[in-house]
């Protein structure tokens, strides 16, 4: 039976430039690396990522930050891995709002 392992990742910082040096990212990468020690590798890794950006920024950094995290994960694990972050979920919420599905978008 196929399994799923979920590792939530919370990243709080003031500026997008801090992302590569965050302790939360280092811990997540170490957790992903440790999965290589599992005997049964038949699982899907699911990584819900929450970016908590508290500083002032001029542009929306979420697409770039999401890509950075995905690239870091791909370096560690080539098997089936899903990364969910604020960015794609916000796009989905906006899409549902445009279709007048505000009830559903509030659930995201």
**Tally of domains within the chain:** 1
Nearest to 61 by CA among 108, 107, 18: 18
DSSP secondary-structure letter at 19? G
Q: For residue 72, what pLDDT is reported?
A: 95
Q: Which long-range contacts link 39-43 to residues 24+ away (Cβ below 8 Å)?
A: 40/3, 41/79, 42/2, 42/3, 43/2, 43/3, 43/4, 43/5
Q: For residue 106, what pLDDT is reported?
A: 64
Measure the CA–CA gap between 61 and 108, rounded to whole angstroms. 20
Rg value, the chain, Cα: 16
What is the pTM (predicted TM-score) of this model?
Answer: 0.78
> What are 55-103's pLDDT values in tens digits?
777 778 888 899 999 999 999 998 999 998 877 777 777 887 888 877 6
Q: For residue 40, what pLDDT is reported?
A: 92
Place of tokens 């392992």: 5
Residue 61: give the domain boundaries.
Answer: 3-105
19 and 52 Cβ atoms separated by less than 8 Å: no
Q: What is the mean pLDDT of residues 17-25?
A: 93
């Amino acid at each position: 039976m196929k399994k799923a392992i979920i590792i939530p990742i919370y990243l709080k910082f003031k500026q997008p430039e801090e992302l590569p040096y965050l302790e939360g990212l280092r811990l997540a990468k170490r957790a992903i690396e440790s999965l290589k020690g599992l005997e049964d590798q038949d699982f899907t890794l699911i990584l819900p990522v929450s970016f908590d950006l508290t500083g002032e920024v001029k542009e929306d950094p979420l697409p770039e930050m999401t890509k950075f995290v995905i690239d870091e994960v791909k370096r560690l694990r080539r098997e089936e891995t899903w990364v969910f972050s604020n960015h794609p979920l916000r796009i989905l919420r906006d899409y549902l709002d445009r279709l007048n599905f505000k009830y559903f978008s509030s659930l995201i």
